[in-house]
Amino acid sequence: MAALPPRKNPTPTKISKQHLTPLQILLQMGFPKHRAEKALAATGNRGVQLASDWLLAHVNDPFLDECAPREYILYACPTGPFLQQLENFWAQSREACGWNGAHNFTPHITLVSFFKAPDECAPQLSKALKELMNLPGARIDRPIGLELYTSPNFMGFFVAEDDANYLKRLALQYVKEVSHSTISLEPHVKSLHLTLAYQFPSGQFNALKTLVEGLDASCTDANWELRLYSRDPRLVSKQVHKVLYPHTPRETDELELRIGDYIYLNPEAIQASSDGWVEGISWLTGTNGYLPENYTERTAESDAWTMHRTVPLCDVRVPDETSDVVDGVPMSTPTVLPEANDAASPALGQCESQPDTVPVTSDKAPQPTTEQQPTADERTNSGKMFGSTKTQDEFPLERLHELVKKHVSNMQVIPGDEGVQQQTVSKPESSTRKVYLMRHGERIDFTFGTWVPYCFDEAGNYIRKDLNMPKTLPTRKSCLWQKDSPLTNVGRYQALLVGEGMKDAGVNLAKVYCSPSFRCIQTATSVLEGLGLKATVPICIEPGLFEWLAWYQDGIPEWLTSEELIAADYNIDREYKPMTTAEKLKDHFHEKLGEFYCRNSDIAESIISSTEGNILIVGHATTLDTCSRFIIGEKTRSTNDMGRIMQKVSYCSLAVMESDGTEDANTENNIKGHWKLTVPPCDPVTHTNNSRFDYKVLSD
- Positions annotated as catalytic residues are 439-440, 620
- Rounded CA-CA distance 94/316 in Å is 31
The Cα angle at residue 682 between residues 484 and 649, in degrees rounded to 5: 40
Alpha carbon separation from 120 to 36, 59, 245, 291, 343 (Å, rounded):
9, 20, 36, 34, 17
10 Å Cβ neighbour count for 74?
28
Bridging pattern class, strands 511-514 and 306-312: unpaired
Burial of 234 (0-12, 13-18, 19+ CB in 10 A): middle
Residue type, 209: K
Amino acid at 447: T
Q: What is the spatial distance between Cα 288 and Cα 290, in angstroms, rounded to a whole number?
A: 7
Residue partners of 32: CB distance under 8 A and separation at least 6: none
Do 440 and 487 contact (CB within 8 A), yes or no?
yes
Between vectors from CA 359 to CA 358 and to CA 362, what angle results, nearest 5°? 85
Compute CA distances 261 → 51, 280, 359, 464, 465, whole Å: 17, 12, 18, 31, 28
Half-sphere exposure of 91 (CA within 13 A, CB side): 7
Q: How far is CA 162 from CA 59, 113, 141, 144, 152, in A?
A: 50, 21, 13, 9, 27
- Between CA 460 and CA 243 the distance in angstroms is 34
Q: Read off φ and ψ for residue 302, nearest 5 degrees.
A: -65, -15
**DSSP summary character for residue 417:** B
CB 565 within 8 A of CB 571: no
For residue 409, give the 3-state DSSP assignment: coil
Whether 653 contacts 439, CB under 8 Å: yes
Pairwise CA distance, residues 332 & 316, whole Å: 19
Find the DSSP H helices in 571-638.
Answer: 582-586, 593-610, 623-626
Alpha-carbon distances of 6 from 3, 9, 10, 262, 303, rounded to whole Å: 9, 9, 9, 54, 53
Residues 6 or more apart whose Cβ sits within 8 Å of residue 431 = none
Alpha-carbon dihedral sign for residues 28, 29, 34, 37? negative
Structural contact between residues 510 and 613, judged by C-beta atoms closer than 8 angstroms: yes
Cα end-to-end span (Å), the chain: 34
Taken as a whole, the chain contains a residue count of 700
